[in-house]
Structures are given as C-alpha cells and as structure tokens.
Amino acid sequence: MNFLDNRNNKKILVLASVFFMVIISMLCIGCASGIKKGTLVGQAAPDFTLKDLNGNRVSLSDFKGKVVVLNFWATWCGPCRVEIPHIDALYQKYKDQGLVVLGINAERNHEKVEEFAKAKVSYTVLLDGERQGREYGVTGIPSTFYIDKKGVVRHHDVGFGPGKEKEIEQKIVELL
C-alpha cells in the first residue's frame, strides 16, 4: 500500500502543504505586523542623530539635497538579511548620483551588528535606533523610507519578497 493511498495520510499531506505555504508567505512579507504603512508619506522626515559603527554622530539633516533610503533592519530578521544585499547593490550603483543609504538597527548587541554589517554592507549603519523606529511608526521590519532631496518622505515599504528589488530601484530612480 502506497503512502498516498491512505486517506489520513492525504489529509496530513494537504495540511502540511498549507502550513508550509503560510510560513513562506509570512517570510516573503517580512517580520511585519500592525504596520502603520505610509503614515509619513508626503510629510517631512523626522530628523535624528545617531552614532554609526565607528562612533561618529550622523544626522539625517546632514543629507539635505540628497535622496536618502532609510532602512530599519535587524540581524535576526530573515527578510532583512535577504534585502540588504539588494539595497547595498543599489547604493553602489547610484551613490555617485547622490544616493545615501542609512541602515538603522536597534539591537543592543552592537558587536553582532558590526560583525554582520562589515561583511555585507558598504553604506552607513546607525545604532540604537529604537526611538527613531517609534517616531517613524515602524512596528515591523524590514521597513524602508524613501526621502527626496527636500527631506520629504515619498514612499514607505514594509517587508521584502521576490521581485521587490525592482520596485526599490524604481523608487530610487524616480527620486534621483
């Protein structure tokens, strides 16, 4: 008798497949729930000052006149880990045209953040961004804000999934 001949085994297989699809969908969407997506779109981006991985103070207002991609992320977030190489590649491609990328991390283990970032990120990573996450209405990650040259939030994305890297590039090009 074959495994699929048994009616109970078929039910288990169907339930396992549904469960697997739900898990995959959640990973594609991101580590996000209860998002206040778009609440800042059309408004001035709240200014902040944080320290980077080298201990230098960096303010958002330092980049007036440039397009800024502000990405809230964590080392433990699977979709963040998948998204970061794409954001880094876009930073490399467009930085000479005035693109600035600021990665904001709120984890307390700075050594872990530094170890991860030094291996995968060429843009500026800022630490201790918990308060800024609240100011920007971030309740899930990855959460990315696209800020125009005048300092206005033009787009806000939450999560990362297949094909999203093209959307990210389109938003960047539109603002450059």
Give yes or no for a cis peptide into 142 (omega within 30° of 0).
yes
One-letter amino acid of 46: P
Q: How far apart are CA 157 and CA 145, in angstroms?
A: 7
80 is catalytic: yes
> Active-site residue among 28, 31, 77, 80?
80
Q: Do the strands 124-126 and 99-105 form a parallel or antiparallel pair, or are they unpaired? A: parallel
**Cα dihedral 24, 122, 146, 172 in deg (nearest 10):** -90
Q: What are the catalytic residues?
A: 80
